[in-house]
A and B are shown apart, each in its own frame.
Chain A
Amino acid sequence: MSDCHGSAVELAQVRPSGTRKTVAIVGPPNAGKSTLFNLLTGLRQKVANFPGVTVEHRVGSMKLRDGREVDLLDLPGVYSLEPRSEDERITRDALLGKLPGVSRPDAVLLILDSTNLGRHLMLAAPVLSAGIPTLVVLNMADDLEKRGGSVDAEALANQLGAPVALISAAKNEGVDAVRNYLSGQFAVPKPVELPVLQDVPKCRQWSAKVGNQARYQPPAPPVWTRRLDSVFLHPIAGPAIFFFVAVLVFQTIFTVAQPLMDATERGVSTSAAWIGETMPETWWRDLLVEGVWGGVGSVVVFLPQILILFLFIGILEDSGYLARAALIADRTMARIGLQGKSFIPLLSAYACAVPAIMATRTIENARDRIATILIAPFMTCSARLPVYTLIIAAFIPERPVLGSFLGSRAAAMLGLYVLGFLAALVTARLLKSSILKSDRMPFMLEMPPYRWPTVRSLGLRLYDRAMAFLKRAGTVILAVSIGLWVLAHLPLKDGRPPKIEDSLAGTFGRTVEPLIEPLGFNWKIGIGLLTSLAAREVIIGTLGTIYGIEGAGEEGSPEQSVGLQQALQRDLTPGAAVALLIFFAFAMQCLSTLAVVRRETGGWKWPAAQFAYMTVLAYFGALVVNQAAIRGLF
C-alpha cells in the first residue's frame, strides 16, 4: 500500500459491485471542506464563516464521470492529527478507519486554504504520510488572486509527491480537477519521501521550504477585515453596534413580520372558512377545520418571524462576526467559569438547542462541555419565538419605549431573551463552582476574515429552515392536533361528542388543573403545557385546536369564532400571562434536545437532571410571578 503512484487510477477501475469507495475530505477548520462537499454531492451541509462548523462526519454520494458513485465523507476541521477535542478525534479516527460504520478512506481530498498556505501545509506531512492516495486541494483561489498572492501548483505537486489542484469551491472554479482526480484522469506525480515530524517548528520549517520551492507568494493582508475590526472591536462603538443590532432584530420581528403574519393568518382563516362552508357538515369536516387548520394553521402563521430570525443568524455566521462576538463575550464567560468558545454554541442555540449541543464538541475540556450542554436549552430557541410573540401581542399594548426605535413589545421580547441568557449564566456559575469545577481552560480562537454573506447561501438557509418548520408543522404538530381533536370528542354520548370539558382531553386537563392553578393556568393551558413537552410551539397548535372546538360549540359556526389572542385574553390574567412567559423561558420542553443530550453525554444522568432542574425552575418562577401579581405586587 506504500505505492501511492497510480493509486488514484486504481480507484477508478471497475470494482465488483457493492464495494463503494470512500473519499474523505480532510483539512484545517474553515478551509471550505463543507463547501466543496456540498458542491460535489448536492447536499446542504452547514457552511459558515468560523472555525468548527462541522462537528460530526457526514456521508454523501457523489457521481463520477463514468456513472459510478463514491461515498464522500465530510469531516470536522483539524489543525493536526493530534486531537484535543471530540470533533478533531472524529477526523483522526476516520483517517485511521476507526470510525464505526465508515470504512477506511480509499482516497483523501486534503483541503487547504491557499491564502494561508504556509501554516496549512503543515497538515500535509502527516496526512500524506498516512499512505492513502491524496489530492491536495488549494481552496480560496479567488481570494488568493484578489489579494495578489500566487502559487505554482505543479511545482508544489512535485515537492509533495502528490497531485495538487487550485480551486475556488465557493465560486465553483477549477472543481473539475477534483472530479477528474476521483475519476482517475489526473496526473499523479512521483511520490517523495516526506519527513515525519513530531516537532511543530521543524514541520513549519519544512512547509516554508516546500512553499518557497512552489514559489508561494502569500497574499496581502485582508484590508477590509482590519477596517471592519477597528469598528466592531472598538471599545465603545463595538458593544454599541452589538446592542443596536440586537434591538433591530427584535423590532424587525414585530414590525416587518407583523404584516406578513397577518397576511398568512388571513390566508389560513379564509381557507378554513371556505372549507367550512363548502364541505358537507360531517365530523371529518370539523376535524379538518378545527384540528388541522386550527392546530397546524395557527403555528404556520409564525413562519415569517422565524425566517427573519434565521436571516439575522445567517448574516452573523456567514460574515465572520460570530467569532468576534465570542471574543467580546469571553470576559463574561470567564467570570462564570467557561470560555469564549462556549459562547459559539450558545449563540447557535438561539436557533435551536439541538445543533448547539452538537457544536459543544469543539470544547476541549469535558466538564466545560457538559456545563455548556446543560445551559444551552436556556437560550431562547426559535421554537419559543411563536409562543412569546403570541402572548406578548395579546397582553402588551404597543407603545414606544425608545422613540420609534424600540417598541414595548420588542422590549418585552428582548427582556425574555436576556432572562434566558441570565438563567444560563447563573446555572453555569453554579455548576462550574460545584460539581463541574475544573481548571480554567485557555481561550484560543482563530478569527476568520470577514466575507460577504451571499444571497444564494442566505436564501438556501432560509429555504431549508422554512422546509424544516413546515415539515414539523406537518408531522408533529399535525399528529398532536389530530390526536387532541379526537380525544376532545370522546367518549361519545348517544353518538354525540361530549362538551369539551367532559371529553377525555378535558378530563385530563382538569386532572392537572389543581397543580397549575397557583400559576394562574386553567385546564386548557394545562393541556397545552403537556403537549408542548414534545416541542414548545405545539402549545399554539393545541390551543388553536381547543379554541376552535370551543368556538364551534358556542356559536355553532364551523370557523374559529375568536382569534387565538382574544381567546387567551379571556383565559389568562395579565399576571398569569407573564407567568406563562416565564414558564416557557425556563422549562425544558423539547424531546429532541433531551435525546441529543443523552447521546452527547452518554447516558440518562445529565438529561434527567437537566429536565428536573429546568422544570422546577419554570414552575417556581411562574408561581412566584403569578402570586406576586395576585397580591398586587406589580
Chain B
Amino acid sequence: MQLSVDKRRWVTLADLLEGQQGVLDCLELPEDLARRLMELGFVPGHVVAAAKSAPGGDPRVFRVDGSEVALRRETARCLRVRLAE
C-alpha cells in the first residue's frame, strides 16, 4: 500500500518546477560524469531545489549543497529525485 505512494513520488530533476525541491536519489550517468556532478554537490541524499533558468527553461540553475549549478535538461533528466514532503 505504501509502494504506490512511493512510486508516484519518483521523478527526475528535469521534472522539478521552479521553486520545487526534492531529495536526490541516484545519478543514472556514466561514472566519470556522475563523479563530477557529485563533486559539484549532487550527492545522493542531498536536497536539490530548482531555481531560475535560461529563457525557455533550459538550462536551469539548481541549488544544492550551498552552491548553484546550471545543468541542461538532458543531464537533469538522468538525476532521479524523491519529492520532499
Contacts and interface: CB of A to CB of B under 8 A. Distances in A.
A49 to B, nearest CB: 13
B56 A331 contact: yes
A621 B59 CA distance: 35
Interface string A618-632: 000000000000000
* Chain B interface residue number, banded: 20 to 34
Contact of B74 (A218, A226, A233, A442): A442
A328 B65 contact: no
Nearest to A334: B72
Contacts of B55: 235-236, 238-239, 328
Interface string B26-38: 0000001101111
A348 interface: no
A115 B65 CA distance: 11
Interface stretch (A52-60, A77-85, A387-395, A413-421): A77-85
B43 interface: yes
A435 interface: no
Interface stretch (A133-141, A184-192, A309-317, A444-452): A444-452
Interface in A119-135: 119, 122
Interface string B8-30: 00000000000000000000000
Contacts of B56: 235, 331
B70 A443 contact: yes
Contacts of B63: 221
A215 interface: no
Nearest to B71: A444
A118 interface: yes
Which of B41, B52, B74 counts the most A-chain CB atoms under 10 A from its CB? B52
A118 B69 CA distance: 16
A331 B66 contact: no
B16 to A, nearest CB: 16
Contacts of B68: 225, 446-447
A79 B67 CA distance: 13
Contact of B45 (A82, A118, A201): A201
A327 B70 contact: yes
Contacts of B84: none
Interface in A191-245: 200-201, 204, 218, 221, 225-226, 229-230, 233-236, 238-239
A183 to B, nearest CB: 33
A340 B65 contact: no
A327 B45 contact: no
B39 interface: yes
Given A119-B65, A229-B61, A330-B59, A444 B70 contact: yes
Interface in B40-85: 40-41, 43-45, 51-56, 58-59, 61, 63, 65-72, 74-75
Contacts of B37: 444
A440 interface: yes
Which of B37, B68, B75 counts the most A-chain CB atoms under 10 A from its CB? B68
A84 B36 contact: yes
A440 B74 contact: yes
Contacts of B71: 442-444
A247 B60 CA distance: 27
Interface in A288-334: 323, 327-328, 330-331, 334
B32 A327 contact: no
Interface residues of A, number: 39
B61 A200 contact: no
Given A200-B39, A331-B58, A442-B75, A116 B66 contact: yes
A119 B63 CA distance: 13
B52 A229 contact: yes
Nearest to B76: A442
B66 A80 contact: no
B66 A115 contact: yes
A593 B38 CA distance: 37
A229 B51 contact: yes
A446 B44 CA distance: 18
Given A200-B35, A201-B38, A340-B70, A443 B59 contact: yes
Given A327-B61, A444-B37, A447-B61, A200 B70 contact: no
Contacts of A225: 68
B70 A447 contact: yes
Contacts of A340: 59, 70
Contact of B69 (A238, A334, A445): A445
A200 B71 CA distance: 19
A446 B40 contact: yes
Contacts of A115: 66
Contact of A200 (B38, B53, B74, B75): B38
B41 A119 contact: yes
Given A229-B51, A331-B58, A119 B69 contact: no
A327 B59 CA distance: 7
Given A444-B70, A445-B69, A201 B43 contact: yes
A339 B66 CA distance: 24
A301 to B, nearest CB: 40
A229 B52 CA distance: 7
B54 A330 contact: yes
A87 to B, nearest CB: 14
Nearest to B37: A444
Nearest to B36: A84
B54 A116 contact: no
Q: Which 7 A-B pairs have the closest CB atoms?
A: A233-B52, A200-B38, A79-B39, A447-B68, A116-B66, A235-B55, A442-B75
30 contacts: A82-B32, A118-B66, A119-B66, A200-B39, A200-B43, A201-B38, A201-B45, A218-B66, A226-B51, A229-B51, A229-B61, A230-B52, A233-B52, A233-B61, A327-B54, A327-B70, A328-B55, A331-B56, A331-B59, A339-B72, A443-B59, A443-B72, A443-B75, A444-B71, A446-B67, A446-B70, A447-B61, A447-B67, A447-B68, A447-B69
Given A80-B39, A230-B52, 4 more contacts: A84-B32, A119-B66, A323-B70, A445-B70
